[in-house]
Amino acid sequence: MSVGDSEVTGIKAAGQKKLMLFSGRTHPELAEQVAEQLGIQVVPTKFQDFANGEMYVRYLESARGSDAFVLQAHSGAINESIMEQLIMVDALKRASAKRITVITPFLGYARQDKKHLGREPITARLMTDLFATAGADRLMAIDLHTDQIQGFFDGPVDHLFALPLLADYIKEKVSGAEATVVSPDAGRVRTADRWADRLGLPLAIIHKRRDPEVANQVKVHEVVGEVEGRTCILVDDMIDTAGTIVKAADALFEQGASSVIAAATHGVLSGPAAERLQNSRISEVVITNSLPIPKERDFEKLTQLSIAPLLARAINEVFSDGSVTSLFEG
């Protein structure tokens, strides 16, 4: 169901609520797409960087009594983008916004969600604490690295899923072909299982072990499941340096796969990722625009799908006190 202009504007005209969308500087294109879906404008904001790196934020419209949604992509200079969003939330709190929802399509530090060794931090918990301290009443994110992060924030968390968007696109690509959904490691089996159910396809798993001496390096061992002669759909929540995905694809081809398509919600694409993926035997890499892709990280095999309609529907459900869960039912 699309979000009509009349529905949102009608609520505002009645004087009951005022929906306002605010955007940081890391992904204004996504914010504009969401605003267009909602039939509103992104609130004009003044940003300033001082010589020592400190940031200043001031909104150019009153936010008093508003239902405020603050959208920021945690990308690029990630620590700066997070700090900017925290400052934006604080400014809204001091501007007497009635409710503040932080929208982080990709939540920075989400992979640091547990302790593996002594004296390690749980930085994902620190992130939610920072937003709560700044004044956030609610968090909204897409495909968190682990479900448990929802419990880190003492308030409502809207955990959205890009699976319907990505899977419907992939379904058209593999229509009529013998295909298998593949999890690149044991940790992504639950995600891959949802894909398999959605597409009505069998599931395979790649068993791998990380090299403890080298960061972001993996060793692929064996493929569990039927992949010979089939189109394999490698699924994950994110692609960072692309080491895992490329080595997983190599393992699938070694087991006789006819082709491999990679799909993930978040395209972090750090370091050599773009070059690795372009030079790999993977035929297409499908991601969402949860993170901006600079020109130097774009490549021929990359397809980016917009999550703006999903975010707009979720925002409208929150604003109208509806059900975000209903977006994924049926």
CA distance 66 to 281: 50
Residue 29: closest CA among 318, 290, 302: 290
Alpha helices by DSSP H, listed for 19-114, are: 28-38, 78-94
Residue 310: closest CA among 163, 149, 102: 163
* DSSP type of residue 270: -
Encode burial over 15-38: b for 16+ CB neighbours within 10 A, e otherwise.
eebbbbbbbbbbbeebbebbbbbb
Whether the CB-CB separation of 11 and 17 falls below 8 Å is answered with: yes
Pairing label, strands 55-59, 45-49? antiparallel
Helix (H) or strand (E) holding 192: helix 189-199
Whether the CB-CB separation of 117 and 88 falls below 8 Å is answered with: no
Q: Catalytic residues, which ones?
A: 208
- Please report the sign of the dihedral spanned by the C-alpha atoms of residue 261, residue 71, residue 155, residue 328: negative
Helix axes 78-94, 123-134, angle to 10 degrees: 30
